[in-house]
């Protein structure tokens, strides 16, 4: 059930109010038809057919494949995540720029090429046009994947951790484009909160300013990527895919943008917050000493934290990515199962 400030709101699956809500609000079709889009956006057949039939689809990013995990673990994880989505009854739609087109539903050989690296740039929303016009390959960040999901009509997107406000940047504000893009795209983003390397309080403040609701899934506290707890209490919580779908429906029927569904990492894989904080502090010092910033900062910090933890953060990262993919599939399946699309 959706809870706010200690209140309990019972949900009735058969309520007449649900039946009166315009079902098109959750259909998630493309923003508008534009003939020029045909040369830019490529929704692959399996994804297109699933969307047309009203079957659940989950968007997946490709930056974690090309820039987030080492080879061959990245390829193994990408394949496993797609399998997790299928096992839960949904169609995976891994997004990336391939051959100068924004592709929704990368082919197996394209995912392998991204995993092997070499010619795959990191593409945020602002980079999409240049990547497409340049005719190359680009691994989409959360922001860019949100763009693609919205254009394709996909309502649920699962990732590891969302970007946010970076720590210790002094007078130079470093805020991920993920936050602003989520505010404007009517997509439910499932993540294990924000990456532990970030300023979590600042990230939550920006999300509030942008009007993005942060909903705890089975938790009252904002997860901190590798850790189940962060000390930051959330205002709303859901405990089942049905409850989440009802909340998503209400949000979008009001004409609002994206939602962040904060799913804690699996308990068996979660790390101790005190230990992680110490590791992040050392990684930040190393980044400053090396003069690392911009797009290179997040991959550097994640790699450094993994080295300092003897690989334990990598294992936690993989586990939470799979868990978020499974939950994303359950949320996507709850939409048509409730007759809301």
Residues annotated as catalytic are 61, 195
Q: How many C-beta atoms lie closer than 10 Å to residue 31's C-beta?
A: 13
Q: Judge contact between 189 and 157, C-beta under 8 A.
A: yes
Residue 184: strand, helix, or coil: helix
Q: Which of 288, 301, 94, 327 is nearest to 195 (CA)?
A: 301
CA distance 168 to 199: 8
Q: Judge contact between 276 and 313, C-beta under 8 A.
A: yes
Q: Which long-range contacts (CB under 8 A, 24 or more apart) does 201-210 make?
A: 201/232, 202/164, 202/165, 203/162, 203/164, 203/165, 203/179, 204/232, 205/165, 206/164, 206/165, 206/175, 206/179, 207/164, 207/179, 207/182, 207/183, 207/260, 210/179, 210/180, 210/182, 210/183
Q: Which of 63, 209, 204 is nearest to 123 (CA)?
A: 63
CA distance 242 to 338: 8
Q: How many C-beta atoms lie closer than 10 Å to residue 174's C-beta?
A: 17
Residue 64: strand, helix, or coil: helix
Q: φ, ψ for residue 207 (rounded to 5)?
A: -60, -40
């Amino acid at each position: 059930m959706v809870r706010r400030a200690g209140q309990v709101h019972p949900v009735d699956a058969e309520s007449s109010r649900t039946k009166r809500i315009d079902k098109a609000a959750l259909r998630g079709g493309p923003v508008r038809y534009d003939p020029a889009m045909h040369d830019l956006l490529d929704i692959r057949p399996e994804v297109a057919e699933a969307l047309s039939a009203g079957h659940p689809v989950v968007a997946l990013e490709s930056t974690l494949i090309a820039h987030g995990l080492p080879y061959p673990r990245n390829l193994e994880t990408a394949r496993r995540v797609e399998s997790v989505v299928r096992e839960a009854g949904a169609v995976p739609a891994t997004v990336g720029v391939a051959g100068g087109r924004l592709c929704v539903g990368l082919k197996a050989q394209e995912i392998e090429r991204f995993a092997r690296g070499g010619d795959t740039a990191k593409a945020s929303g602002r980079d999409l046009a240049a990547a497409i016009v340049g005719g190359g390959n680009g691994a989409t960040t959360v922001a860019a994947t949100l763009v693609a999901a919205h254009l394709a009509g996909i309502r649920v997107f699962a990732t590891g951790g969302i970007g946010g406000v970076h720590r210790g940047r002094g007078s130079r504000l470093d805020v991920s484009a993920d936050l602003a893009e989520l505010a404007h795209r009517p997509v439910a983003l499932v993540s294990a909160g924000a990456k532990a390397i970030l300023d979590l309080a600042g990230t939550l403040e920006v999300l509030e300013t942008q009007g993005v609701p942060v909903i705890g899934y089975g938790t009252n506290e904002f997860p901190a990527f590798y850790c189940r707890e962060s000390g930051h209490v959330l205002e709303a919580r859901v405990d089942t895919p049905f409850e989440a779908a009802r909340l998503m429906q209400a949000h979008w029927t009001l004409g609002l943008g994206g939602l962040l569904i904060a799913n804690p990492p699996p308990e068996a894989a979660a790390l101790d917050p005190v230990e992680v904080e110490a590791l992040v502090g050392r990684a930040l010092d190393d980044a400053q000493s090396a003069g690392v910033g911009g797009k290179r900062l997040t991959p550097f910090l994640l790699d450094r934290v993994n080295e300092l933890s003897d690989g334990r953060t990598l294992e936690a990262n993989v586990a939470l990515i799979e868990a978020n993919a499974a939950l994303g599939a359950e949320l996507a399946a709850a939409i048509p199962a409730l007759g809301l699309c």
